[in-house]
Amino acid sequence: MSRLGIIGTGLIGASVGLAARSREWEVFGYDSTAEGLRGALGCGAIDSAVEQPSAIYATCDVIVIAAHLNATLAEVAALRSRPLRDDQLVIDVASVKEPVARAGAGVGAFVPTHPMAGGEQRGPAAARSDLFRGRTWCYVPTADERRTAAARVFVAKLGAEPVAVDAAQHDRIVALTSHVPQLVAFAFAQCVNERAVQAPELVEALCGPVARELLRLGRSSQPMWDEIFAANAGAVRAELAHLEEVIDDRRIPG
């Protein structure tokens, strides 16, 4: 039985654990909060909880870093001082890849990745074993072809579709396809909440399908997304500027 270690047992980390356990992996989990670990154990996402990340690296064949972006960057940078085995694989799941790839440059065991899956709900209680089924899971090829191939095989085993990407190109594209829509959703939700103060029931009744989808996305974790927006700020600003130009070109008459 292969051993998987998860560092960060939120929605994505716990979903990885559920998917792996359904495929008979033994899963160990670490989280910075006791609540996160209790939730992961309670929902069956991990077999065992550990008190420190070092226990994950000492025990597991594959390690998934599934923390928020800034914590991920710190964990990836710390890989340089860890005694990793030749047969170990370490991946992350962060929504930006260029900063993560820089942090892990030269660490042979590490392959940057990003599953195009998630949700507005948080924590292990929202985790699903089928979250990655049929979804794109990007990976950034590294100089270690064996580790890169192992990352591709691992994400495929979880039901995802592995897709190779350049880190910089990934960040430019997801600025448009993921980060700008999320930023718009936060802004739209704020506008709706302000309008709903005056007529809450009527505003609710007059929300169409697109509005409801934006409101759903607007319930996502603001602190988590703030880190992502900051890390990919240049690309996000460029796509927002282009969006503004497109909107201006479609001016409503009068």
Residue-wise pLDDT tens digits, 151-210:
999 999 999 999 999 999 999 999 999 999 999 999 999 999 999 988 889 999 999 999
pLDDT score at 121: 84
The single-letter DSSP state of residue 177 is I
Q: How far apart are CA 174 and CA 162, in angstroms?
A: 16
Looking at domain 169-249, its CATH superfamily turns out to be 6-phosphogluconate dehydrogenase C-terminal like domain (1.10.3660.10)
- What per-residue confidence (pLDDT) applies to 13? 97
Superfamily of domain 3-165: NAD(P)-binding Rossmann-like Domain (3.40.50.720)
The structural domains of the chain, with segments of one domain joined by +, span 3-165, 169-249
Sites in the chain below the pLDDT cut of 50: none
CA dihedral 85, 87, 88, 92 (to 10 degrees): 130
DSSP assigned state of 245: H
Least Cα distance to 12 among 101, 104, 115 occurs for 115
Q: What is the structure's pLDDT at 154?
A: 97
Q: Is residue 184 a contact partner of residue 159, using CB atoms and an 8 Å limit?
A: no
Whether 39 contacts 33, CB under 8 Å: no
Residue 120's pLDDT is what?
Answer: 82
pTM of the model: 0.93
Contact partners, residue 159, CB within 8 Å, separation at least 6: 19, 130, 132, 133, 134, 135
